[in-house]
């Protein structure tokens, strides 16, 4: 959605480690939508589910960030079954194929009250 200031906003504020799930068909998706992308049911009341472990598809490090965002900012494209998203990584040690999960409580911006987990490697046992 776009607000009156031209800023992109979400209808619902989703924690970084959750995805929406359709009650009818079970499809999961990350970004807020008006309808389920699979069956078309209204997504207004879709519950959320926690994303457990995923696989890194690609990584990058952003060196030049806005003034209030940490630099370097490590990012990873991750697939959690049918849900694929870009999220902050705790460090630069992730590589494609690594198994990851969300952990911790971090602020993206210095002035922001909201905290979210970052991606960390899953320890193989």
CB 107 within 8 A of CB 117: no
Report how far residue 67's alpha carbon sits from residue 111's, in angstroms, rounded to the nearest whole number.
11
* pTM of this structure: 0.81
DSSP result, 3-69: -TTS-B--SS---TTEEEE-TTT--EESS--SB-TTT--B-TT--EEE--EEEEEEEEEE-S--TTB
Cβ neighbours of 119 (radius 10 Å): 28
Report how far residue 78's alpha carbon sits from residue 24's, in angstroms, rounded to the nearest whole number.
25
The tens digit of pLDDT for each residue in 107-121 reads 666 677 777 899 999
Token pair of 111, please? 């002035």
pLDDT confidence of residue 112: 73
pLDDT block averages, 10 residues each, the chain of length 125: 45 82 94 92 92 97 88 94 93 95 80 82 83
pLDDT confidence of residue 12: 61
Report how far residue 78's alpha carbon sits from residue 99's, in angstroms, rounded to the nearest whole number.
9
Cβ neighbours of 103 (radius 10 Å): 14
């Amino acid at each position: 959605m776009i607000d009156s200031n031209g800023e992109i906003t979400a209808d619902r504020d989703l924690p970084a480690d959750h995805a929406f799930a359709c009650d009818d068909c079970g499809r999961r998706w990350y970004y807020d939508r008006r309808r389920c992308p699979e069956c078309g049911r209204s997504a207004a009341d879709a519950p959320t589910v926690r994303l457990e472990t995923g696989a890194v598809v690609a990584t990058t490090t952003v060196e030049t960030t806005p003034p209030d965002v940490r630099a370097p900012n490590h990012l990873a494209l991750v697939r959690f079954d049918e849900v694929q998203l870009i999220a902050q990584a705790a460090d630069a040690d992730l590589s494609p194929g690594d198994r990851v999960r969300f952990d911790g409580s971090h602020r993206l911006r210095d002035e922001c009250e909201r905290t979210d987990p970052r991606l960390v490697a899953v320890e193989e046992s």
